[in-house]
A and B are shown apart, each in its own frame.
Chain A
């Protein structure tokens, strides 16, 4: 995928370009807001990655200008500020996701993958399937190999989110933010506890395990 990266710190930019390139992306990087505005309005990108705080025209202003010009490319804001207000401000400016620095490479790659498919077909469809697992979003029912599976509300939400991003890695932070609306790090194993229960219901006794743990990154559901 072709990505635009705005980042003023040379070392961080070089590192991010290396990591994203290794993940199979084509990255066009720039260090100033005006460059990002020019590039963003001149060519097509799959995802815009904008550092919020750069000298001169900042990422937030670039994003606002691009949105005002009618460019709807999914955008990820990078920021060192993680106050609630900061995040809300970023999302209101037209960002599709907000990632607080510093972050792991896996986190950035997972979020870009999630953004580039937005809106995911599977998120809007009434039913979606991964392998022999199907989810009916109207009836809120889950079946595997024709067998009905009863899930708790949060287990259902967790599974639904995994299925929306089937084939992709979802990170712990993504799960906390999107399934539990937690914008802080819990001290206990919230995700692991729910995940083990979900796996017990969805994966145990059906042969193939659909939910994979991706070491150092997160989870992935695959058919």
Chain B
């Protein structure tokens, strides 16, 4: 463990913070573009409004009688010396009749002029002001010039730039703080997951990752990782189980085998020694059978298969098995009956399913007294296919029922007839591999072992 990826990473280098940074940048650029557009539009609108007021003011003055015009202008200037408008009235010869605008601006049409503020609008250094002028030639040759300042438009522009900068900075700061906060929360959650992983690596294989939260996809990730851990845990458990089984449950028969061989060596006469060796060989075969069963069980429980499942007609499969076991049942004075539903098709492995049902039928035949009826029934219910092996024998006590699927468990070892007690464990493993469920119930009287498959074909139509 040279490098540990734990939760000590700074929030500033977290993914969430980096995202926030990128988003803040993009947002700032977008805000600048938007504000620039707004400023341009407002500027144009303000300019048009200014042009409009100049025209209106000119038109109002032109409506005055020619004789009273200078007086009217003077009156307006007096009423609002600081007002929106400045005026200039020149006679035909270009002499100033009234108004403050420099005579240089005295021409018809649009123009502009710089002039001092008088009186200054505010304290501080006096500064010249740029005015937009509109000159109109009167019928008698006189010239009326009305002017207004572009100040408001410029001020607005300045305000907007300041506003834009302040907000861009504020947004960026907010994004950074938010990113840092989210990053810190994120890292805290990830740190919890990392801590769990550390514990698992340290050998606590029962530990699982906590939900990360924040986003459903992260929880999905955690859930999937947990499923993966469970799977690995199961496989490890299987391996441990195999070693335990081999160590514990093969020791007794091996010891017995050794005793038989010793007895055979000490036997007097060829015949006795041959008989001893035959018994030892039979014991060896039994041992090999148990060993094979353990390996097969481990293989099935491990679930590592390369061949895909195929559609299997359970009705046909069971018909063949009934034919196979009919003579066996007859020989042990059992009655074997069967009923089957049509189109009971499941996805599975033909070999393993045959082993599963052969196992269940053999269990029923081996563990019930002569005269017992064993029936094998395939039934279809909505969404499921149930195969039940039922006997009307003495049954199994409730307390024993969930134990009989365990490895090497035998209800009555004296009646096991050399089976190692792996039959139902193997059946249970095959059932699980097929995504089915094994149910053991009281058939009153007797025992019913059912395998419940999901009916995928029925659901599809």
Contacts and interface: CB of A to CB of B under 8 A. Distances in A.
Contacts of A182: 354-355, 358
Interface stretch (B19-27, B213-221, B325-333): B325-333
A189 B324 contact: no
A118 interface: no
Contacts of B299: 83
B358 A85 contact: no
B292 A187 contact: no
Contact of A193 (B307, B328, B358): B328
A82 B355 CA distance: 14
A193 B331 contact: yes
A185 B292 CA distance: 9
A84 interface: yes
B13 interface: no
Contacts of B289: 185
Contacts of A18: none
A194 B330 CA distance: 11
Contact of A180 (B324, B332, B349): B324
A85 B305 contact: yes
A22 interface: no
Given A153-B323, A181-B351, A181-B354, A84 B328 contact: no
B112 interface: no
A23 interface: no
Q: Which of B299, B324, B355 has the most CB of A within 10 A?
A: B324
Interface string A13-56: 00000000000000000000000000000000000000000000
Contact of A188 (B305, B349, B362): B362
A190 B328 CA distance: 6
A102 interface: yes
B419 interface: yes
Interface string B299-315: 10000011100000000
Contact of B327 (A84, A183, A193): A193
B246 interface: no
B166 to A, nearest CB: 71
Contact of A186 (B327, B351, B362): B362
Contacts of A100: 292
A197 interface: yes
Nearest to B350: A181
A184 B365 contact: no
A207 B184 CA distance: 94
Contacts of B296: 82-83, 184
B423 A187 contact: yes
Interface residues on B, range: 20 to 34
Interface in A184-206: 184-190, 193-194, 196-197
A154 B423 contact: no
A197 B327 CA distance: 8
A88 interface: yes
Interface string A141-158: 000000000001110000
Interface in B320-354: 323-325, 327-328, 330-332, 349-352, 354
Contacts of B436: none
Contact of A88 (B288, B307, B323, B362): B307
B366 interface: yes
Contacts of A189: 328, 331
Contacts of A196: 327, 331
A187 B295 contact: no
A187 B419 contact: yes
Nearest to A102: B288
B325 A152 contact: no
Interface in A133-176: 152-154
Contacts of B350: 181
Q: Which of A88, A185, A196 has the most CB of B within 10 A?
A: A185
B415 to A, nearest CB: 12
A89 B305 CA distance: 12
A188 B330 CA distance: 12
A60 to B, nearest CB: 14
B417 interface: yes
A62 B292 CA distance: 27
B305 A84 contact: yes
Contacts of A153: 323
Nearest to B286: A185
Interface string B354-367: 11001100100110
B115 to A, nearest CB: 100
Contacts of B365: 188
Interface string B411-452: 000000101000100000000000000000000000000000
A80 to B, nearest CB: 9
Interface string B263-300: 00000000000000000000000001100100110010
Contacts of B331: 189, 193, 196
Contacts of A89: 306
Nearest to A154: B323
Given A84-B307, A181-B354, A188-B362, 15 more contacts: A84-B351, A84-B352, A85-B305, A88-B307, A89-B306, A181-B351, A182-B355, A185-B292, A188-B328, A188-B332, A189-B328, A189-B331, A190-B324, A194-B327, A196-B327
Closest 5 CB pairs of A and B: A193-B327, A193-B328, A85-B306, A188-B328, A187-B362
16 contacts: A82-B296, A83-B296, A84-B352, A85-B306, A102-B288, A154-B324, A180-B324, A181-B351, A185-B289, A185-B292, A187-B362, A187-B419, A188-B328, A190-B324, A190-B325, A190-B328
